[in-house]
Amino acid sequence: MRNPNPSRSLRSRTDTEIEDAEPERGKPDADEPARRRRRPRRTARRRASADPALRRLRRTVFALAIAVLLAAALAGTAWFNHQRAERRDAAVRESTAAAQAIFSYDYRTFDASVTNGRAFVTGEFADEYAQTTTSLKSAAVAEQAVVHAQVSAIAVISAMADHVELLLYLNQYRRNVNIAGEKVDQNRVVLTMIRADGEWKVVKATAI
């Protein structure tokens, strides 16, 4: 049977579709609670960042952290410089004993003098020192030679943690049967020293 009022049927269908398309007014949005929860946090952060007292506190903490880092750096530098100065001073002290032992001998106790000198040398210079003293012994005994070396001044040419170069002003007081009395030889010697087994040793000696 035909619908006696087609406009009424069309109107009913259209109203129904519109009602279906509209959201249910009583039903809450599923994302709405999450948005509401996020808003107070952002607001709290804005308030915190805008608080002058909190900003001052942050600046103070940052300044203190920088001050602590600078103090630590300065302390480390001071400690390093102190250690280097101590090692340099130890090398200077050792160079005096080393030079006086290496460049001194007594024909009466020649072997003991050489043994004392060997305690301050190392490396190739130790071999050179042994060869030199071996060839010197016979002449020293024949001339009854006595040589006493004394350091009068020291200058640091270069200094590192384990390597130093020193300029020594060295006087050698010599006596033997060929001269009357005592003769003084004034010398300048560059000693190169390194740390070996925790001690400063001479690895090179150059007269200038």
* SS3 letters across 53-109: HHHHHHHHHHHHHHHHHHHHHHHHHHHHHHHHHHHHHHHHHHHHHHHHHHCCEEHHH
Looking at the predicted structure, is the pLDDT value of residue 137 above 80?
yes
Residue 186's Cα: distance from chain center in Å?
40
- The per-residue pLDDT for 7 is 47
Q: Note the pLDDT of residue 150.
A: 96
Q: Categorise residue 144: left if φ over 0, alpha if ψ from -120 to 50, beta otherwise.
A: left
pLDDT tens track for 7-45: 444 444 545 454 454 545 555 555 555 555 555 555 555
What are the tens digits of pLDDT across the range 83-114? 566 767 878 889 999 999 999 999 999 999 99
- Is the pLDDT at 62 greater than 50? The verdict is yes
pLDDT band at 143 (very low <50, low <70, confident <90, very high): very high
Q: At 3, is the pLDDT very low, low, confident or very high (cuts 50, 70, 90)?
A: very low
pLDDT of residue 198: 84
Which pLDDT score, from 0 to 100, does residue 1 have? 45
How many residues make up the chain in this entry?
Answer: 208
Residues 107 and 98: their CA atoms lie apart, in Å, by 19
Asked whether the predicted pLDDT for residue 190 surpasses 80, the reply is yes
* pLDDT digit string, tens, across residues 146-178: 999 999 999 999 988 889 999 999 999 999 999
Q: What's the CA gap between 137 and 65, in Å, rounded? A: 68
> In terms of pLDDT, which residue wins out, 69 or 202?
202
Mean pLDDT of all residues in 138-148: 95
8 A C-beta contact, residue 195 and residue 87: yes
pLDDT digits (tens, 9 = 90+) for 64-82: 777 777 776 666 565 455 5
Mean pLDDT, residues 192-200 taken together: 90
Contact (CB, 8 A) for 78 and 70: no
State the pLDDT at residue 18. Answer: 44
* pLDDT reading at 193 higher than 50: yes
**Rounded percentage of the chain residues whose pLDDT exceeds 70:** 69
pLDDT at 36: 55
61 vs 67: CA distance, rounded Å: 10
